């Protein structure tokens, strides 16, 4: 009996698990794709964070760099809440006459000075036709001064003679005929014309024009009817003038400070006056002061307190020690000269007076040790004021003068800081006495005639 073998037919692949397998593969694909997306997102977040961090670091470094530059400029100055500027290393010395204040100097120039421009438009300048300096013929200036008659002379010195004149359009002007002093006189003439024809500010005497006919060298300036500060602080026996009151002195001090602030802080390049003194401060009909005589002016370095070496020029008693001894000239040299003028306004004394008792010949040497003592400061005041001043303001002015005439240039303040210190003093006076006293309003300085 044969055995039958039965071979089962082949079954088709089972379809029972098919959908599950497809779903599993799809799930694996989705999971892998999601993983790629997650990794990309993390990388984007990391890159963004690093970029933001780098930007923040760059910003911080920029701010720190600016802070360092600012500190280098002002780390020697401490501004008190009442506006008096005292160098940090001198705080202990001057602490008796200043209020406690916050550290740091004021860097922003006063609004009036910001409105002045160098090599640009004019603020508070003469009529537009004179901007930049008009060229006059010698004949025109002869007519303006009535042939340069002696009766029109309003000033005389080593530089030449100044005449009062009236130009063709009726403008009253100060016409300065320079001595024929060779190369030096020619250099000073060219320097003043070049500088003032581009430099305009209401606190600087404006150049109206000039004459360079043949050998003649003549400068034409706006007329300042009340003459120089020197004629009022140190009148001669032939000069008739009323003593300047306290308010007027404060205002003159502020006007001069603004003029120097413009030269030092706003002009590009910086201008160093180099001969700042009482006789180079002129007063208008309202006794507002303007800085004049730029024949010795020097353009300085653009760096903060940039130093230049040059031969020593200027006036004895006003020249800063580092400049007089080593020829090192900076804007702080002008600050020293300003401090001397401030002492003159305070005391009524001249910078050098050999007729005074021993120890009092040099104003700065005599005054500096006394400026830190309240009682001695009171004894220093110009007798012509007759006690008509604010004791508090006197002490603050003494403190400003003290730091301006420091022997070491680095201890002196910037003129911007001096301006900010004087503004509240002048404002407080203006509140109590808004106008110039009557005795000054109608008093026009008349030069003596021999």
Q: Would you name the residues annotated as active-site residues?
A: 275
Mean pLDDT of 45-63: 84
How confident is the model at residue 82, as a pLDDT?
42
Percent of the chain clearing pLDDT 90 (strictly above):
51
Q: Do domains 86-115+224-445 and 118-223 have the same CATH topology?
A: no
**C-alpha separations of 218 from 180, 185, 295 in Å:** 10, 11, 13
- Give the helix ranges, DSSP H, for 75-177: 91-94, 111-114, 138-144
Reported confidence tier of residue 31, pLDDT bands at 50, 70, 90: low
Residues in the chain: 450
Q: What is the mean pLDDT of residues 26-52?
A: 71
pLDDT (0 to 100) of residue 273: 95
Model pLDDT, residue 232: 94
CA 378 to chain centre: 29
C-alpha span between 281 and 291 (Å, rounded): 5
pLDDT score of 237 more than 80? no
Q: 356-376: per-residue pLDDT in tens?
A: 999 999 999 999 999 989 999
Across the range 25-31, mean pLDDT stands at 54
Phi-psi region of 181 (alpha: psi -120 to 50; beta: other; left: phi over 0): alpha
More confident residue, 295 or 141: 141
Mean pLDDT (the chain) is 79
Regarding pTM above 0.85, the answer is no
Look at the domain 118-223 and name its fold.
Phosphorylase Kinase; domain 1 (3.30.200)
State residue 5's pLDDT score. Answer: 47
**In whole angstroms, what is the distance from residue 136 CA to residue 165 CA?**
13
Please state which of the four CATH numbers 1.10.510.10, 3.40.50.1100, 2.70.70.10, 1.10.3720.10 is assigned to the domain occupying 86-115+224-445.
1.10.510.10
Q: Higher model confidence: residue 295 or residue 125?
A: 295
Alpha-carbon distances of 383 from 58, 186, 211, 254, 368, rounded to whole Å:
60, 43, 44, 22, 19
Average pLDDT score over residue span 5-14: 50
For the chain, give every domain's residue range. Answer: 86-115+224-445, 118-223
Q: How many CA atoms lie within 13 A of 229 on its CB side?
A: 28
Residue 355: pLDDT over 60: yes
Angle between helices 391-404 and 331-347 (to 10 degrees): 150
With beta carbons less than 8 A apart as the criterion, state whether 261 and 202 touch.
no
- 392 labelled as ligand-binding? no
Residue 228 per-residue DSSP state: B
pLDDT of residue 114: 59
DSSP notation for 291-327: E---TT-EE--SSTT--EE----S-TTTS-HHHHHH-
Q: Which of 46-50, 114-118, 430-434 has the lowest mean pLDDT?
A: 114-118
């Amino acid at each position: 009996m044969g055995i039958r073998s039965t071979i089962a037919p082949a079954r088709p692949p089972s379809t029972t698990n098919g959908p599950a397998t497809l779903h599993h593969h799809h799930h694996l694909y989705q999971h892998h794709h999601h993983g790629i997306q997650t990794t990309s997102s993390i990388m984007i977040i990391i890159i963004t964070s690093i970029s933001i961090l780098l930007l923040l670091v760059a910003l911080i470094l920029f701010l720190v760099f600016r802070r360092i530059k600012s500190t280098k400029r002002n780390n020697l100055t401490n501004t008190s809440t009442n506006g008096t500027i005292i160098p940090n290393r001198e705080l202990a010395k001057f602490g008796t006459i200043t209020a406690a204040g916050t550290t740091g100097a004021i860097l922003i120039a006063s609004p009036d000075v910001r409105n002045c421009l160098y090599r640009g438009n004019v603020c508070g300048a003469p009529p537009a036709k004179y901007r930049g300096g008009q060229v006059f013929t010698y004949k025109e200036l002869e007519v303006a001064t009535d042939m340069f008659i002696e009766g029109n002379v309003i000033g005389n010195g080593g530089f030449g003679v100044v005449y009062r004149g009236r130009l063709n359009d009726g403008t009253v002007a100060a016409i300065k005929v320079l001595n024929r002093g060779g190369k030096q006189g020619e250099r000073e003439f060219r320097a003043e014309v070049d500088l003032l024809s581009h430099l305009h500010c209401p606190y600087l005497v404006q150049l109206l024009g000039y004459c360079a006919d043949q050998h003649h060298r003549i400068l034409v300036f706006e007329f300042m009817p009340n003459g120089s500060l020197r004629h009022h602080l140190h009148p001669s026996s032939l000069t008739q003038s009323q003593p300047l009151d306290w308010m007027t002195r404060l205002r003159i001090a502020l006007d001069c400070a603004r003029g120097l602030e413009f030269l030092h802080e706003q002009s590009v390049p910086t201008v160093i006056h180099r001969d700042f003194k009482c006789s180079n401060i002129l007063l208008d009909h309202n006794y507002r002061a303007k800085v004049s005589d730029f024949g010795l002016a020097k353009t300085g370095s653009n760096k903060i307190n940039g130093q230049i070496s040059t031969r020593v020029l200027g006036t004895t008693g006003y020249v800063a020690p580092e400049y007089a001894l080593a020829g090192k000239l900076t804007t702080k040299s002008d600050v020293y000269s300003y401090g001397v003028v401030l002492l003159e306004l305070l005391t009524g004394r001249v910078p050098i007076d050999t007729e005074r008792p021993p120890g009092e010949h040099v104003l700065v040497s005599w005054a500096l040790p006394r400026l830190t003592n309240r009682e001695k400061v009171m004894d220093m005041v110009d007798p012509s004021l007759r006690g008509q001043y604010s004791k508090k303001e006197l002490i603050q002015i003494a403190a400003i003068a003290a730091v301006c005439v420091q022997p070491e240039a680095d201890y002196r303040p910037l003129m911007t800081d001096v301006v900010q210190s004087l503004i509240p003093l002048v404002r407080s006076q203006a509140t109590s006495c808004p106008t110039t006293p009557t005795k000054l309003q109608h008093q026009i300085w008349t030069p003596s005639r021999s």
